[in-house]
Amino acid sequence: MNFGLLHHTETAFPDAIEKGLAFLRNNDLNNLENGRHDIDGDRLFANVMTLTTLPASEKQGELHHDYIDIQFLISGEERIDVCLAESGCRPATDYDAENDFALLETMPGASSLLLSPGMFAIFYPHQPHKPGCAVTSPSEVKKVVVKVHKDLL
Ligand code: CU
């Protein structure tokens, strides 16, 4: 997992992740339409969405096998919980290979990331994460999830 500010990152990420970050830097995100935006076909694309956050207790965690998530907040405030892959999460669903996710019922020992606009968090395959949680009370956020296929790393 990485946690950072889009415009102040000193870290050099692998090229595919840098491409995803460049998409975020080079687009007028406030005016980007919700939905999918291809960067490199099915291997690298961005999902732009508007959603209402919910208390973490009402959300399920998720993990992916094939794609890295770059979760980026455009507006609002968002909490994303994260825990170790080894922490023994109880699955809520079997892994859905077509859509590349499994939902998690529990995330033992989770920590919370608090995102303000301009912050991103990167989750690698098999790292449990629970996005879309409210920081204080439910509110609307606009965000982007850039999906990077692991074969690009
Ligand atoms: Cu995810």
Strand residues in the chain grouped as ranges (E): 2-5, 35-40, 44-52, 61-63, 67-75, 78-82, 102-104, 111-115, 119-123, 129-133, 140-149
* Cβ neighbour number for residue 81 with a 10 Å cutoff: 18
Q: Identify the CATH number of the domain in which residue 120 sits.
A: 2.60.120.370
Residue ranges making up the domain that contains 111: 2-150
State in Å: Cα 129 to ligand 1 middle: 6
Kindly report the pTM of this predicted structure: 0.96
Predicted confidence band of residue 47 (pLDDT cuts 50, 70, 90): very high
Q: What is the pLDDT of residue 18?
A: 95
Please give all residues whose CB falls under 5 A of ion ligand 1, grouped by chain where several chains appear. Answer: 62, 69
Q: What is the pLDDT of residue 10?
A: 74
pLDDT digits (tens, 9 = 90+) for 80-113: 999 999 999 999 999 999 999 999 999 999 999 9
Sign (positive/negative) of CA torsion 82, 85, 90, 93? positive
What's the total number of domains in the chain? 1
State in Å: Cα 70 to ligand 1 middle: 8
* Average pLDDT of the residues of the chain: 96
